[in-house]
Amino acid sequence: MDLQAIIDDIALAFAERRGEGKVADYIPELAKVDPKQFAIAITTVDGAVYTAGDAATPFSIQSISKVFMLTLALGKAGETVWNRVGREPSGSAFNSIVQLEHELGIPRNPFINAGAIVVCDMVLAGYKPKEAIGELLRFVRYLADDETISIDQAVARSETQTGFRNYALANFMRSFGNLHHDVDHVLGVYFHQCALSMTCRQLSRAGLFLAAQGADPISGYSVVSPKRARRINALMLTCGHYDGSGDFAFHVGLPGKSGVGGGIMAIAPGKASIAVWSPGLNKVGNSQLGSLALEMLAARTGWSVFGA
């Protein structure tokens, strides 16, 4: 299978459609991003890398970072994570507050905003906010084998200044006793986490451990146990695209996590880690062309977890 030819075809197929969708403009810094960008990168478990389009252009990975923060939290707190956050699809918008009251401040899953804020609270235990942010940055650099990965401070500031709904979510959970640290400290970590800036090439490399039963197949080092990698993939499949998760599973059939920066990281277990990026979002906040590109890739490669 010629993966380079496949992704070159995909990039060509979307060349005339660049700019489709709506850039996330509720975060002012993201509103400035040129929507006519498109990238795809694949890193296979044997270490081969294939890229097409703007795969060397950094972008704000936003909620894709929740996968890496959850991995850290599981390493720190183990299965007790699930005492404070659920594992069910939300069926609601990523920043919805409605379910929280009904479910007594326990977020549905770690990939909606409320759940990710609780995960940040767990990672913050025993740390100052800057130390927790540093821990995440070191972890992602280690996974991607790239020390140049950084946090976009302008995006972090933009989120801090406009993240009123996230402040509401955090305070609401604090009122139920499901947030243990100062709200400003937890959200400081959360906003900086979402402002991680990576290229598709770096992102596809960082997700590779999830395609290889929890180990980095290139270095040989174990990142998480095979069981934990399988469970993180399961959560990505069922919850990784908010209220569009079922549709993504239906069309693509791979565990994936989207971000409102227009990126998607997808995992083909046993085969490869894939990253796509196109800033324009569809109506449920996932990359419009990125989702279509992954559907085309899954069809061409037969990589769906549900069978070819």
The position carrying tokens 């059939």 is 253
Task: Give the residue from 96, 68, 73 showing the smallest Cα distance to 85.
Answer: 73
Burial class (CB in 10 A: 0-12, 13-18, 19+), 227: exposed
Q: What is the 3-state secondary structure (H, E, C) of 98-157?
A: HHHHHCCCCCCCCCCHHHHHHHHHHHHCCCCHHHHHHHHHHHHHHHHCCCCCEECHHHHH
Closest C-alpha among 9, 3, 19, 52 to residue 288:
19
Q: Find the catalytic residue in 60, 63, 90, 291.
A: 63
3-state secondary structure of 246: helix
- Options 260, 273, 278, 291, the catalytic residue: 260
Between the alpha carbon of residue 125 and those of residues 136, 259, 307, the distances in Å are 14, 26, 41
Catalytic residue among 123, 190, 223, 291: 190
Residue 242 designated active-site:
yes
Annotated catalytic residue, options 66, 81, 96, 252 = 66
224 noted as active-site residue: no
Distance CA 114, CA 234 (A): 19
Q: Is 204 a catalytic residue?
A: no
**63 in catalytic set:** yes
Q: Determine which one of 81, 140, 186, 242 is catalytic.
A: 242
**Residue 26 among the catalytic residues:** no
Residues identified as active-site: 63, 66, 190, 242, 260
